[in-house]
Structure 1
Amino acid sequence: MTEVPAPIALLALPGLGLGPESWRPTLGYLTGGGTAYVRVSPGYGEPAPDGQDLSPRALAAGILARVPATAPRFLVLGHSAGSQVAAHVAALDPSRVAGLVLVGPSTDVRAATWPRLVKRWLPTSWREPKRQVPTLVRQYARSTLPAMVRSIEAARQDSILETLRPVTVPVLVIRGPHDHISPADWAVAVAAEGGPGSRAVTLSAGAHMVPFTHGRLVAAAVSDFLSDLDALT
């Protein structure tokens, strides 16, 4: 287990359609003296009312409104499209964000259309462990398909590279070796927009759902990053 430095809390944001359980295997290895929050949003763990703004920036503002004002600075962890929301959290409230961990970040500008998204999703899903299907079905049903479709549409219009340009904190990008949604060169490009100490890491196993399927590996990468943050501060 890794002890989170006391002045830094963890704020974990699920990917599209996913709930708190998607981060549980990773956070289980990141326990100790710190505090961890998991925050769901409409389309990302809960349904969305008709007409609600599901842009990553609007969702980030909603998350910040629900984080206790007395909470310490955060290491914000985002998965998939949740990485886009995490980037906006850092851009909207830089004084409270110590660093970003973006796992399988979307949306690669080369695959922002629906056909290209599907083309990348299919070979990635083939490499995912089939044991996760029952929990994915439950999480997607909770978020609801209409909310997920609207959220995908909003996310693919959002540029994580542009969002990160004014962000000065270190950014760690993590991906699985079989993740075609977030390929290696895209991960490097995202990390390049971060502050000093930013980097991209490809794990030794896994595809796109690594916070759930390979929590130990993700936690180890986050642990190393936390040590670097501790040294910088």
Structure 2
Amino acid sequence: MATPEMVLPEPERNSFVHGGNELLSYRWPVNGRPRVLLIHGIGMGHWVYESFITALLDGDTPFDVTAVDLPGFGDAPKPQRALSMEHTADLVALSLTEHEAQSPLIVVGHSMGSQVAAELAARHPQLVDALILVATTVNPAERSVHQQAKRMLQDLGTESISVLARGALAYAQAGPRWFIEKLKPTLEHHIERTLPRIDQPTLVIRGSLDRVSPAVWARQITGLVPDAALLELEGHGHEAIIAHGEPAVRGIERWLSQLPPRA
């Protein structure tokens, strides 16, 4: 789904179908550069992250970028039922094996996508070289529909009109019924049980105004992953990489430059 503001070049597009679930992937290849995989949050689609993808492509050292539409979101058709976070990660892994992964990836997950990304790193470590968890859900202290809805509404007050418009379009595209269907496995997933099994270097990113993924939870995430660092983006909320991609990308570049070579 495109919007009038979209300025990204046309990507390579692939479809992967397994067990009645279709995943769409969009790649902007930059030969010889590190590969980044972006996994979106609940209700979103790849096109919402134009600012972040543009920043990844336009820097002095651009990345080779792939973004996905998970089943039922963006342009991917809705399956009969929602997959768990673990099985969603397995679907992404199968798609990567068929279409994308020729070398380990830098995997970026936003919100619900961070849950999928964490499972991908833990369950399929050969595909993931480094992990970036942005605005990670679900805070175990607030694991309920009521609490999550309350925090999302509070967070909306920190976002610009353009970000709210993009989110509204994406949610409308997914539809309320499918959003609710996917919310159940999102809330049931305990990412805190997965984090200690992640061997890859990990960067945890949150906006300083994020009410959905609060500071205490971000610190807990960072402490649970064996090799993790925390980056806070001042003045941003839950949709930080949707609103302004460049601050996050510059922070990711600095973090990557400080990592020792992996054996």
Distance 1:22 1:70 in 2: 23
Structure 1 runs not aligned, ≥5 long: none
Distance 2:200 2:122 in 1: 10
Q: 1:47 deviation in Å?
A: 4.4
2:140 matches 1:140: no
Deviation per residue, 1:144-192 (Å, 9 max, x gap): 2211111111111101111122111111111111101000110111122
Do residues 37 (structure 1) and 66 (structure 2) align?
Answer: yes
Residue 227 (structure 2) pairs with residue 201 (structure 1): no
Q: Deviations over 1:31-64 (max 9, x none)?
A: 24542110111244344222x2421111111111
Residue aligning to 1:121: 152
Matched-pair contact (CA < 8 Å) for 2:196–2:226: no
Q: How far is 1:5 from its partner?
A: 10
Residue correspondence of structure 1 range 44-123 to structure 2 within 5 A: 44-45=73-74, 46-50=76-80, 52-67=81-96, 68=99, 70-123=101-154
C-alpha distance after superposition, 1:189-215 (max 9, x if no partner) = 11222233x111111221011111021
1 CA distance for matches of 2:77 and 2:100?
A: 26
Q: Distance in 2 between matches of 1:102 and 1:64?
A: 17
Question: Which deviations, in whole Å up to 9, do the C-alpha atoms of 1:103-151 show, x marking residues without a partner?
Answer: 1000000111112112212211111112223322221222222111111
Distance 1:7 1:193 in 2: 30
Q: 2:52 aligns with which of 9, 26, 36?
A: 26
After superposition, the CA RMSD in angstroms is 1.9
The TM-score with structure 2 as length reference comes to 0.80
What is the letter of the counterpart of residue 258 of structure 2? D
The gaps in structure 2 that reach 5 residues or longer are 1-29
1:70 positional shift: 4.8
SS state at 1:23 partner: helix
Q: 1:214 to 1:47 in 2, by over 3 A?
A: same
SS in 1 for 2:236: coil
Contact 2:56–2:62 (Cα < 8 Å) also in 1: no
Q: How does 1:153-172 map to 2 (within 5 A)?
A: 153-172=184-203
d(CA) in 2 for partners of 1:204, 1:120? 18
Give the number of the structure with larger relative contact order, counting CA–CA contacts within 8 Å between residues 6 or more apart.
1
Q: Structure 1: how far apart are the matches of 2:101 and 2:129? A: 15
How many residues get paired?
227
Retained in 2: the 8 A contact 1:25–1:211? yes
SS in structure 2 opposite 1:100? strand
Where 2:203 maps in the other structure, the secondary structure is: strand
TM-score for both structures, normalised by structure 1 = 0.90
